[in-house]
Amino acid sequence: MLAGGNIPERNRPPMTPPDRLRALLAEPGFVVMPAVWDGLSAKLAAKAGFPTAFLSGSCVAASRLGGPDLDLISFPEMLDSLTMVRAAAPETLVLADGDHGYGNAMNVQRTVRAYGRAGAAAVLIEDKVTPRALTSAGKPCLPREMVRMKIRAAVQAAKDSGILVMARTDCRPTLGLEEALARIGMYVEEGADILFLDSPENEEEVRAAVAAAQGRPSFAVLSPGAKRETPTQRRAAELGLKIGTYPTGLLSPVAAGILAGLAAHAAGEAEASSALLPPELRSLLGYGDYEAAAKAFTLPE
């Protein structure tokens, strides 16, 4: 046996995605997670040098349904999207949106275990009521102790794969800041790894949420346009936030690009002025990589 029980580097098992995300979050600096939804968006984010990405439910709803983020996307659709993202960018550390867990505490456990088996590094579970009321207004949330059981179930199920649990509260607009902070404290008690206060009204509320997380990483949505505090990356880091994502940051330019292409067609043109040149597009899509890999299986003439 080696002194001190040290394991030689060559004999150590490879780090899992959750292990790698924990290590990344332990490093100094603010972590930006681009919001992705399919193979192409995940691949391009990885090529741009981002080690992590957020599989956003709102982006998946937009891309798969052409619709709004109003709990219309199902568990199988999100799991399929996670599989696509992982296949296209296998080294990317994916935080997968688990919404409300798609049901009760037992459904939460099924969601967490499935995401863990699929290779997600972390999973988001929130406290909204499901099924939601038939309106886009407001985010009614479950009673606090019912939410406790869902987060407890998630943390227990996460032990199978080591996947990190990010616990989110949406109750700030409906139940107030005090209740939201109490829920973050409860999430810490239950063992959540990452904390998320949705819709803080100002910087003071952001600081209060970070304090309630008791040293565990805090996550924020930084896309502008909604009724929430959206600091810059630099200011977010100064406020104590650790992770930020931009759900509209890639989706909105993609939608704008499609509209530009359609307008070009309507004007009798082949493509919009913003379109990538054909060689650049082929390179991004991996045509050259395919040809190189296929040579090993090509029969001689």
Identify whether 117 is part of a domain: yes
Confidence of residue 225 (pLDDT cuts 50, 70, 90): confident
Measure the CA angle with vertex 188, ends 105 and 178; round to 5°: 95
The SS3 call for residue 245 is: strand
Sign of CA dihedral 177, 229, 241, 151: positive
- 54 pLDDT higher than 80: yes
CB 65 within 8 A of CB 73: yes
Containing domain of residue 189, as a range?
A: 17-249
**114 domain-assigned:** yes
Return the DSSP state at 128. Answer: B
Residue 206 CA to residue 222 CA, distance in Å, equals: 12
**Stretch 173-194: mean pLDDT:** 97
- Averaged pLDDT score across all residues of the chain: 95
What gap in Å lies between CA 74 and CA 95, rounded to an integer?
17
Across 51-58, average pLDDT: 98
Q: What percent of the chain has pLDDT over 90?
A: 90
For residue 13, give the 3-state DSSP assignment.
coil
Q: Is residue 300 part of a domain?
A: no
Mean pLDDT of 94-108: 97
Q: What's the rounded Cα separation, in Å, for the pair 109 and 280?
A: 43
Helix (H, G, I), strand (E, B) or coil at 42: helix
Q: What is the pLDDT of residue 6?
A: 63
Please say if the pLDDT value at position 160 is more than 70. yes
- Angstrom CA distances, 23 to 15, 26, 28, 121, 250, stand at 10, 5, 10, 11, 26
Whether residue 280 is predicted with pLDDT greater than 70 in this model: the reply is: yes
Locate 94 and state its tokens. 């994916």
Contacts of 84 (CB under 8 A, 6+ apart): 38, 39, 42
Rounded CA separation 249/260 (Å): 17
Q: What is the pLDDT of residues 18-44, one digit of tens each?
A: 999 999 999 999 999 999 999 999 999
In a domain, 293, yes or no: no
Q: What is the pLDDT of residue 175?
A: 95
Q: Is there a domain that residue 50 lies in?
A: yes
Give residue 1's pLDDT band: very low, low, confident or very high (50, 70, 90): very low
pLDDT at 9 over 70: no
**Which pLDDT band, with edges at 50, 70 and 90, does 137 fall under?**
confident
- What total of structural domains would you count in the chain? 1
Is the model's pLDDT at 248 over the cut of 90? yes
CATH of the domain at 233: 3.20.20.60
Is 220 a domain residue?
Answer: yes
286 in a structural domain: no
88: in domain: yes
Task: Report helix, strand and coil shares of the chain as percent, to nearest 5.
Answer: 50, 15, 40
Q: Tell me: the pLDDT tens digits for 282-291?
A: 999 999 999 9
Q: What is the pLDDT of residue 5?
A: 55
List phi, psi (to 5°) of 30: -85, 135
Residue count of the chain, please give it.
301
* Coil/strand/helix, residue 215: coil
Alpha carbon distance 56, 73 (integer Å): 11
* Helices and strands in the chain: count of H runs, count of E runs: 13, 8
pLDDT in tens, 106-124: 999 999 999 999 999 999 9
Confidence band (pLDDT; 50, 70, 90) for 87? very high
Residues 6+ apart with CB under 8 A from 64: 37, 73, 77, 81
